[in-house]
């Protein structure tokens, strides 16, 4: 029987506090193929029966939505044989600045660019004279906040409100706090931290955006009798200090358990007499969040504990992760425990050199008796924890922090090293998706590097329901674009480097939205950002000479090259020009996808392609140069086989090793596969000696490393100046593992898995592979197995979609929704 599920608005289930005034609605069918739908809302929108199979991202076009409005929507769906309806709802947030009665407040204590201040606390008591019908708390900070109501923490968001370009926007959260209030006296409070706004971002000093954290809150209560009470931040709030003596995301936090201002977040507390100060007017916009907040998504318990010396213990969590520690220790009042962390050990001791200036040290000063402590406003990237000043009964566990994105993809096979690689890819993403897609989570950097983002985005969209995460990042990119159209190397852009990002970095502004569109079928990101994408490509027309980008002698930034490649220099002008043609082509496609004329960009792509062939066509040489030329379709047909041969020869000369860096690596296995060298691609995948995907795995890696040789048996640790053990970029191989090894791919013409391409290409000695993806339509899965001379394969195609299934022999089938099994002969 047909049923509908997973009704979502803006990709969230029954969201509260929506800022989008043209929200997108989606639903899933249990079976069959949708022939028509109808949506009706309680505010008078009725689409009528629409003859359409669209069940993803149907845009609301009803009456204008207002602040706080609650909309109930019912969708009815017809298939060939069935009909079903389901109902869901959403609630709007505060849409205009006039909705805010609360004012920005601060504590008055300001640190310096090198110094810290204790975390300010704020509180306000208020009365509710009657039973409560409903209540919403709208809250945000410039800095970080933890909101409290009547002795309880509000919500479970971490590091809120996340990172945006605060000069332009900050996001507020909406919480349903009805159950936290009571008739009579109540108390609303918040603790503030430095976060990105005040604390270290990148390798610069503190206070890039502002000098002290600020709070904005507005509690709106509706009583049963219909009356409304609004409690907003203002100068009548009290302010004081508590357990957090100093904190910084990179440096760590000092918590003094003795200083808990008991009862500060409940009515009746009389400990503080200072009043909050009104903060300067905030001129950016207050936005509702459109992507999931950071949360503690997992708890990890140590696998090993060793005594280093008296009072000093070392724990191994068994996993390099991002988050913070919860410490339980019996204390002698006033004793301070020092916590240091590391990603790796050296001679049995914690190795912290690669953190550079990020001190990543926490201090816990104990109160008498049992202490159960954690930090609030810092996070570290680590696997090992060393505590000094504890007795042997102290225990720890780690809270893993990450943007709370629903995991959607799986991969498993009969080769344990590949399964570990897959897990490392997952952990690399988990640790580097903290509101912003970061390069690394541990050293004094943690930036939204554009290059890394575009390299990994496709894989990330298989791992997690990350559409809104990337839509938010696209806004960060747009916010960082200058008048000339330049895109910086990082977004948000705290001016760490003044130049534009260069090839493969700045080009993220085109590659990311195009990838989101391809993987979701939802054109919104293109509609919203097509102009920004085009402005970037237009700027390349200006900065190139005879269509050669980053030509020798170019006075701007010539780019990072094929970052971290191995003994292979690909000239910047080759990378630059290849990407120039590629992004021009993508803009043309993006324009077409949203009904605009893209022909001018197609012509530009062709002209640049011709310039590329003329200048570099016969001297590509490096693996990356050949890969780009082939993957971006820059070569005349007769030159392609040569480029392929040169590529394969180079790989073989290096003993089946790749030499590619960030730029060439993601495309390399695809180029080999398309070019008929599947076996070579598999040899690269299965290679265990350095440089390779599996070398770090053989060395116990539990995340993806920044460098192929972050640590080697011969040389030990790489350059401390840049050696992260949690960098997702090379995890881009995940895309090849799922699309080629397991065979779950996008149809070349139909985006978003409305039609998928199922085409496993076994190899590498693998006997059993399975993968699945929770698409916008439901579960898409592929599982194959080789038994002697038989290849058997089972696939699952979600309702309301189709698939082309291609067996290793080339036999093809058109499939509809449901499970299908195939078998054929197999010759090893
Ligand atoms: C980052 C990279 C980034 C690169 C640019 C590094 O410091 O960690 O991942 O893309 O700089 O060259």
Model confidence pLDDT, tens digit, residues 445-480? 999 999 999 999 999 999 999 999 999 999 999 999
In three-state form (DSSP H/G/I as H, E/B as E, the rest C), the secondary structure along 188-257 is: EEEEEECHHHHCCCCCCCCCCCCCCCEEEEEEEEEECCCCEEEEECCCCCEEEECCEEEEECCCEEEEEH
Please state whether beta strands 184-193 and 228-232 pair in parallel, antiparallel, or not at all (unpaired). unpaired
The predicted-structure confidence for 194-236, as pLDDT tens digits, reads as follows 999 999 999 999 999 999 999 999 999 999 999 999 999 999 9
Quick check: is 706 catalytic?
Answer: yes
**Helices 572-593 and 623-631, axial angle in degrees (round to 10):** 20
3-state secondary structure of 482: coil
Quick check: is 445 catalytic?
Answer: yes
Instruction: Please tell me the residue having the least CA distance from ligand 1 atom 5.
Output: 560
The response to whether residue 449 sits with its C-beta less than 6 Å from ligand 1 reads yes
Q: Which among 237, 239, 236 has a CA at the least distance from the CA of 191?
A: 239
Tell me the percentage of the chain whose pLDDT exceeds 70.
100
Q: What is the mean pLDDT of the chain?
A: 97
How large is the average pLDDT for residues 662-669?
Answer: 98
Instruction: Report how far Cα 129 is from the mean position of its chain's Cα atoms.
Output: 44
In three-state form (DSSP H/G/I as H, E/B as E, the rest C), the secondary structure along 678-747 is: HHHHHHHHHCCCCCCCHHHHHCCCCCCCCCCCCEECCCEECCCCCCCCCCCHHHHHHHHHHHHHCCEEEC
Q: Are 205 and 113 in contact (CB under 8 A)?
A: yes
For residue 500, the model assigns a pLDDT of 92
The predicted-structure confidence for 293-312, as pLDDT tens digits, reads as follows 999 999 999 999 999 999 99
Burial (CB count within 10 angstroms: exposed 0-12, middle 13-18, buried 19+), residue 650: middle
Q: Give the chain's length.
A: 828
For residue 497, the model assigns a pLDDT of 83
Tell me the percentage of the chain whose pLDDT exceeds 90.
98
CA of 727 to the centre of ligand 1 (A): 9
The response to whether residue 562 sits with its C-beta less than 6 Å from ligand 1 reads no
For residue 498, the model assigns a pLDDT of 73
How large is the average pLDDT for residues 438-444?
Answer: 96
- Please choose from 446, 447, 449 the residue to mutate so as to test ligand 1's pocket, defined by most ligand atoms within 8 A of CB: 449
For residue 496, the model assigns a pLDDT of 86
List the alpha helices (DSSP H) in 269-386: none
CA of 449 to the centre of ligand 1 (A): 7
For residue 332, the model assigns a pLDDT of 84
For residue 582, the model assigns a pLDDT of 98
98: pLDDT strictly greater than 90: yes
Instruction: Report how far Cα 10 is from the mean position of its chain's Cα atoms.
Output: 17
Binned at pLDDT 50, 70 and 90, residue 828 comes out as: confident
| DSSP at 545 | B
Q: What are the backbone dihedrals phi and psi of residue 346, each rounded to the nearest 5 degrees, phi first?
A: -130, 125
For residue 618, the model assigns a pLDDT of 87
Angle at 346 between CA 304 and CA 452, to 5 degrees: 95
| DSSP at 44 | S
CA of 670 to the centre of ligand 1 (A): 24
Please state, in angstroms and rounded to a whole number, the distance separating the CA atoms of residues 576 and 560: 10
Q: Which atom of ligand 1 is closest in space to residue 451's alpha carbon?
A: 10
Structure tokens at 421: 């690689």
**Choosing from 158, 247, 386, 445, which is the catalytic residue?**
445
The response to whether residue 441 sits with its C-beta less than 6 Å from ligand 1 reads no
409: pLDDT strictly greater than 80: yes
Q: Which among 375, 329, 34, 343 has a CA at the least distance from the CA of 191?
A: 375
Q: Are 19 and 67 in contact (CB under 8 A)?
A: no
In three-state form (DSSP H/G/I as H, E/B as E, the rest C), the secondary structure along 405-431 is: CCECEEEEECCHHHHHHHHHHHHHHHH
Please state, in angstroms and rounded to a whole number, the distance separating the CA atoms of residues 460 and 360: 27
Instruction: Please tell me the residue having the least CA distance from ligand 1 atom 1.
Output: 439
The predicted-structure confidence for 599-643, as pLDDT tens digits, reads as follows 999 999 999 999 999 999 888 999 999 999 999 999 999 999 999
Q: Are 822 and 805 in contact (CB under 8 A)?
A: yes
The predicted-structure confidence for 534-582, as pLDDT tens digits, reads as follows 999 999 999 999 999 999 999 999 999 999 999 999 999 999 999 999 9
For residue 160, the model assigns a pLDDT of 98
How large is the average pLDDT for residues 791-801?
Answer: 98
The predicted-structure confidence for 487-498, as pLDDT tens digits, reads as follows 999 999 999 887
């094929």: which residue's tokens? 562
Q: Which atom of ligand 1 is closest in space to residue 724's alpha carbon?
A: 8
């Amino acid at each position: 029987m047909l049923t509908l599920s997973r009704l979502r608005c803006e990709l969230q289930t029954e969201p509260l506090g929506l800022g989008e005034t043209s929200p997108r609605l989606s639903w899933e069918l249990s079976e069959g193929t949708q022939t028509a739908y109808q949506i009706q809302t309680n505010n008078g929108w009725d689409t009528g029966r629409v003859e359409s199979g669209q069940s993803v991202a149907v845009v609301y076009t009803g009456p204008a939505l207002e602040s706080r409005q609650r909309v109930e929507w019912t969708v009815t769906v017809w298939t060939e044989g069935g009909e079903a309806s389901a109902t869901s709802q959403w609630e709007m947030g505060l849409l205009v600045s006039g909705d805010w009665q609360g004012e920005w407040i601060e504590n008055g204590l300001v640190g310096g660019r090198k110094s810290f201040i204790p975390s300010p606390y704020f509180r306000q008591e208020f009365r509710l004279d009657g039973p409560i019908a409903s209540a919403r708390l709208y809250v945000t900070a410039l800095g970080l906040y933890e909101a409290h109501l009547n002795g309880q923490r509000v919500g479970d968001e971490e590091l809120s409100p996340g990172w945006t370009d605060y000069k332009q926007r900050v996001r507020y959260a909406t919480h349903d706090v009805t159950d936290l209030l009571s008739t009579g006296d109540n108390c609303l409070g918040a603790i503030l931290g430095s976060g990105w706004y005040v604390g270290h971002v990148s390798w610069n000093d503190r206070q890039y955006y502002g000098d002290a954290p600020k709070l904005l809150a507005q509690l709106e209560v509706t009583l049963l009798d219909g009356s409304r009470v609004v409690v907003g931040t203002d100068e009548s709030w009290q302010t004081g200090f508590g357990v957090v003596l100093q904190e910084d995301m990179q440096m760590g936090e000092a918590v003094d358990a003795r200083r808990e201002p008991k009862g500060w977040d409940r009515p009746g507390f009389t400990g503080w007499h200072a009043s909050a100060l009104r903060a300067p007017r905030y001129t950016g916009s207050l936005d509702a969040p459109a992507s999931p907040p950071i949360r503690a998504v997992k708890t990890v318990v140590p696998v090993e504990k060793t005594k280093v010396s008296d009072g000093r213990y070392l724990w191994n969590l068994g996993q390099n992760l991002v988050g913070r520690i919860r410490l339980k220790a019996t204390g002698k009042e006033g004793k301070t425990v020092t916590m240091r962390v590391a990603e790796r050990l050296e001679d049995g001791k914690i190795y912290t050199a690669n953190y550079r200036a990020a001190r990543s040290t926490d201090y816990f000063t104990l109160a008498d008796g049992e202490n159960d402590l954690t930090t609030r406003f810092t996070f570290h990237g680590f696997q090992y924890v060393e505590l000094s000043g504890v007795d042997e009964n102290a225990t720890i566990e780690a809270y893993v922090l990450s943007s709370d994105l629903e995991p959607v993809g799986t991969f498993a096979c009969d080769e344990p090293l590949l399964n570990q690689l897959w897990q490392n890819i997952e952990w690399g993403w988990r640790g580097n998706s903290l509101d912003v897609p970061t390069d690394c989570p541990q050293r004094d950097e943690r930036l939204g590097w554009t290059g890394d983002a575009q390299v990994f985005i496709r894989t990330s969209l298989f791992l997690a329901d990350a559409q809104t995460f990337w839509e938010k990042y696209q806004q960060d990119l747009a916010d960082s674009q200058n008048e000339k159209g330049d895109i910086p190397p990082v977004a948000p852009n705290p001016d760490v480097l003044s130049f534009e990002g260069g090839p493969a970095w700045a080009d993220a502004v085109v590659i990311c939205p195009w990838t989101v569109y391809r993987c979701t079928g939802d054109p919104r990101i293109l509609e919203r950002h097509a102009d920004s994408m085009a402005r970037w490509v237009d700027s390349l027309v200006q900065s190139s000479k005879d269509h050669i980008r980053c030509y020798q002698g170019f006075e701007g930034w010539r780019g990072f090259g094929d970052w971290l490649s191995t003994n292979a220099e690909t000239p910047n002008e080759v990378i630059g020009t290849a990407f120039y043609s590629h992004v021009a082509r993508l803009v043309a496609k993006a324009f077409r996808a949203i009904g605009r004329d893209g022909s001018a960009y197609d012509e530009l792509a062709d002209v640049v392609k011709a310039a590329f062939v003329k200048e570099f066509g016969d001297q590509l040489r490096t693996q990356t140069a050949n890969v780009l030329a082939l993957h971006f379709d820059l070569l005349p047909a007769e030159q392609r086989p040569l480029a392929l041969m040169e590529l394969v020869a180079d790989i073989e000369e290096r003993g089946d090793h790749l030499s590619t860096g960030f730029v060439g690596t993601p495309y390399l296995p695809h180029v080999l596969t398309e070019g008929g060298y599947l076996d070579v691609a598999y040899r690269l995948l299965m290679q265990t000696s350095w440089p390779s995907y599996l070398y770090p795995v053989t060395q116990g890696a539990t995340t993806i490393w920044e460098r192929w040789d972050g640590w080697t048996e011969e040389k030990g640790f790489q350059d401390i100046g840049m050696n992260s053990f949690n960098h997702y970029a090379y995890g881009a191989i995940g895309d090849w593992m799922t699309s080629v090894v397991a065979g779950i791919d996008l149809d070349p013409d139909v985006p978003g898995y409305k039609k998928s391409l199922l085409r496993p290409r076994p190899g590498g000695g693998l006997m059993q592979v399975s993968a699945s993806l929770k698409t916008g339509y439901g579960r898409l899965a592929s599982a194959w197995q080789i038994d002697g001379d038989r290849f058997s394969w089972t696939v699952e195609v979600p309702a309301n979609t189709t698939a082309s299934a291609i067996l290793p022999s080339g036999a093809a089938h058109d499939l509809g929704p449901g499970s299908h099994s195939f078998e054929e002969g197999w010759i090893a």
